[in-house]
Amino acid sequence: MSKGQSGLGKSTLVNTLFKSQVSRKASSWNREEKIPKTVEIKAIGHVIEEGGVKMKLTVIDTPGFGDQINNENCWEPIEKYINEQYEKFLKEEVNIARKKRIPDTRVHCCLYFISPTGHSLRPLDLEFMKHLSKVVNIIPVIAKADTMTLEEKSEFKQRVRKELEVNGIEFYPQKEFDEDLEDKTENDKIRQESMPFAVVGSDKEYQVNGKRVLGRKTPWGIIEVENLNHCEFALLRDFVIRTHLQDLKEVTHNIHYETYRAKRLNDNGGLPPGEGLLGSVLPPVPATPCPTAE
């Protein structure tokens, strides 16, 4: 899922993410078409392929927020959508004759786009992430990072990390879920150096040194999206799609979904959703490995 205020290039970056070297055939989107402004929560299915392995993926594009005069509780539709997917999965899971492979529409990752102001985070950003981090894996991303100098970018990343820590907002990978020393060492480096990823998205290709590259044209040259000297897009792509994909799914299943499931069964007196006092009582369903690793 992508989330953040309007005008930060969420839709463009998501298209870039799945049209880079991982797969440029992710959808029938035409490069010449202008990407429409997102006005509703929209789930788009993709099949990405790498090294002959195909994976089904759903990208959830969401409307920008914070544009209204009154932005109170503007996170509620997103939180409601995420919980609806948990509910859908739970209903399938508690069926007596449940499917071998339960269709999984749960949100495993939310890219939260931060405006490259160089100043403090907006109170609205902090409030939004505080609510969302309780129900989904949040990965903070600084959008349009080419608008900042290297020094500004480094200082802003540190400021964002500090503000998230002070406000008790946990982002993925969460410290308490590091399984061993190797995990902790790797994730500490990501938390202390990479987060939030400073990225640039683009749907246009340019010729650079005889090669076609995705980039943004400026008066002083081409900013190459996949060049680590220019931005951290490639780090974000590898983090989400390669190195931490399975872990994102497992944390969603074992932590966020289990929290939702326990609360629902508890609120329902230990009965599966939809069962009344006269309904058949089923024992609680044990946690199972994430059933949709494809």
Q: What is the average pLDDT score of the chain? A: 81
% the chain with pLDDT above 70: 81
Distance CA(183)–CA(278), nearest Å, equals 47
When pLDDT is averaged across residues 24-38 and rounded to a whole number, the result is 45
Higher pLDDT, 66 or 234: 234
Average pLDDT, stretch 221-250? Answer: 90
- Residues 121 and 16: their CA atoms lie apart, in Å, by 25
Closest CA to 91 of 294, 290, 271, 267: 271
Inter-helix orientation angle 150-166/123-132, to 10°: 60
- Decide if pLDDT at 118 tops 60: yes
| Inter-CA distances, 292 with 12, 20, 238, 278, Å | 27, 24, 20, 33
pLDDT tens-place string over residues 250-285 = 999 999 999 999 999 888 776 667 654 333 344 444
- With 0.95 as the threshold, say if the pTM is over it: no
Mean pLDDT of 132-138: 95
Q: 51: phi > 0 → left, psi -120 to 50 → alpha, else beta; which?
A: left
pLDDT on residue 24: 37
Vertex 5 angle, CA 3 and 6, to 5° = 110
User: H-helix or E-strand containing 17?
Assistant: helix 10-17
Inter-residue contact 156 to 118 (CB < 8 Å): yes
The reported pLDDT for the residue numbered 119 is 87
- For the stretch 183-196, pLDDT in tens is 889 899 999 989 99
Q: Is the pLDDT of residue 59 over 90?
A: no
Supply the CATH classification number for the domain 2-201+234-268: 3.40.50.300
Separation CA 46–CA 90 (nearest Å):
24
| 8 Å CB contact between 152 and 117 | no
Least confident of 9-18, 122-131, 142-151, 248-257: 9-18
β-strands 110-114, 197-198 pairing: unpaired
Instruction: Evaluate if residue 208 carries a pLDDT over 50.
Output: yes
Least confident of 30-44, 70-84, 164-178, 179-193: 30-44
pLDDT beyond 60 at 290: no
Nearest to 67 by CA among 142, 127, 7: 7
Question: Is 110 a residue whose pLDDT tops 90?
Answer: yes
Rounded to an integer, what distance in angstroms lies between the CA atom of residue 267 and that of residue 142?
Answer: 39
